[in-house]
Amino acid sequence: MSRSAVWHPFTQHALEPVLPTIARTDGAYLETRDGRRILDAISSWWVITHGHRHPKIMDAILNATETLDQVIFAGLTHEPAEQLASALVAMAPAGLDWVFFSDSGSTSVEVALKMALGFHRNSGAPRSRIVVMEHSYHGDTIGTMSVGARGVFNAAYEPLLFEVDAIPFPAAGRIQETLDAFERVTRDRQAAALIVEPLVLGAGGMLMYPAWVLAELKRLAERSETLFIADEVMTGWGRTGTLFACEQADISPDILCTSKGLTGGSLPLAATLATDAIFHAHYSTDRTRTFFHSSSYTANPIACAAALANIGIWKEEPVAERVAALSRMQSEKIVRFSDNPRFENVRTTGTIAALDLRAGNAGYLAEVGPRLRAFFLHRGLLVRPLGNVIYVLPPFCVTPHELDRLYASIDETAGLASGSR
């Protein structure tokens, strides 16, 4: 086979010249071209919810191709998008009445940021400052990198990024510091919006915080008329134990971003949901107040059909029960590491479990990270640690036996912290 011309994401090709070729997916598994079955313990970057190639989603995609492909969404509409928007409004936290479609988590956040700035400008009181949470990650486009943590992910692109106000992550013992910092940076009423990953910061290290903190941040945002943006790209669609993480704090954000599990992981699609007030700040006979954002594949009909099938699965199948069962299993199986001196910060939120391997260094570029990934892959497990942070985020169809095999392998990783095999 000739050398591949593909440049892969988050991949240092000088260290990983040969990558496995996946020929088939099914349920919780990936299958390589030579027949190896690999348990997808991270849902292929957190997108697969019910399992790979759920029949109802695959059928919906096939049926949609019989009548539609891409349709320009400026000045035209189509039934899959109309139905999906109505379904999302019905499922989302109360007050999110408008749906703007895009293609990825990053673009859904870019849309949210532009909505927030446009809202204040069109309301006659422009605000330009964005408040973010320390260690956050919101994507890899310029705006989303700007509101994410500064570090290895975006150091080369620093000249392109805009300044933000950062508040500390609400770690145990520091929660009041977080709340005080947010109150302080919004006191002058110049902050346009606060953007947060509700309950769990994903790429920042699967950092978790309690729901009451989210509720308190929303209360403080309302007091200063700062818009509250919930980035539910990863935390939505059952990952934290509820359909959306915001439900656990009993809050309705001003703007909500969703992607990943929106189509069950089958096709790229994203949506940014907003309140009526935000929509009407852009609604005018003055064309300069138009919301100027689009992409070529906005509201792709086939992707919308996949998302509608996903919503149908949530309504017709016992998905909530599967999520609850997986959440219980994760809590039960990871507790074995709580008193293990080789690990620390053992934690779960809903279907997400994580723990930190004690190693010589930490962070995304921790030396143990590539060794851990290779170790798991050799055992037929797709686990992609965030440096020394090992996390388990599987599809909801994973079985207790499969989790037992996965956690048994985690138990074997301690030797890798010192570089031994």
Ordered by where they begin, the domains of the chain are 58-316 (3.40.640.10), 318-418 (3.90.1150.10)
pLDDT confidence of residue 363: 85
Give me the residue label for tokens 């599990």: 261
pLDDT of residue 2: 63
Cα four-point dihedral sign 288, 289, 293, 297 = negative
Helix 319-334 vs helix 301-316: crossing angle, to nearest 10: 80
Mean pLDDT of 248-276: 98
pLDDT higher than threshold 80 for residue 99: yes
pLDDT score of 416: 81
pLDDT for 216 beyond 50: yes
CA angle 71, 72, 78 (to 5 degrees): 50
Residue partners of 315: CB distance under 8 A and separation at least 6: none
Q: What is the side-by-side strand order in the sheet with 352-357?
A: 343-349, 352-357, 389-392
Residue of 6, 4, 36 whose CA lies nearest to 23 = 36
- Write the DSSP symbol of residue 244: S
* Bridge pairing between strands 129-133 and 191-196: parallel
- For 244-283, letters b (16+ CB in 10 Å) and e give bbbbbbebbbbbbbbbbbbbbbbbbbbbbbbbeebbebbe
CA 369: distance to chain centroid? 21
Alpha carbon distance 164, 84 (integer Å): 34
For 7, counting Cβ atoms within 10 Å of its Cβ (0-12 exposed, 13-18 middle, 19+ buried), the class is: exposed
What is the mean pLDDT of the segment spanning 190-215? Answer: 98
Task: Express each pLDDT in 311-351 by its tens digit.
Answer: 999 999 999 999 999 999 999 999 999 999 999 999 999 99
| The pLDDT of residue 3 | 81
Asked if residue 110 has pLDDT above 50, the reply is: yes
Q: What angle do the packed helices 79-91 and 301-316 form, to 10 degrees?
A: 40
pLDDT interval class at 18 (50, 70, 90) = confident
Average pLDDT, the chain: 96
Q: Average pLDDT of 284-288? A: 96
Model pLDDT, residue 418: 60
Residue 67 has pLDDT above 60, yes or no: yes
A 10 A CB-CB count for 112 gives 31
- C-alpha span between 8 and 374 (Å, rounded): 17
Q: What is the mean pLDDT of residues 31-49?
A: 97
pLDDT of 417 higher than 90: no
DSSP bridge partners of 391:
354
Residue 281 tokens read as 């700040």
What are the backbone dihedrals phi and psi of residue 308, each rounded to the nearest 5 degrees, phi first? -65, -40
Residues 146-175, mean pLDDT to the nearest whole number: 95
What is the bridge-based pairing of β-strands 22-26 and 381-382?
unpaired
CB-count exposure of residue 329 (10 Å: 0-12, 13-18, 19+): buried
**pLDDT band at residue 302 under the 50/70/90 scheme:** very high
Using CA atoms, how far apart are residues 351 and 328, in angstroms rounded to an integer? Answer: 8
Q: What local confidence, expressed as pLDDT, does residue 420 receive?
A: 41
The share of the chain scoring above pLDDT 70, in percent, equals 99
User: Closest Cα to residue 271, out of 307, 296, 246, 302?
Assistant: 307
Rounded mean pLDDT, 97-108: 98
Q: Is the pLDDT of residue 421 over 60?
A: no
Q: Write the DSSP symbol of residue 389.
A: E
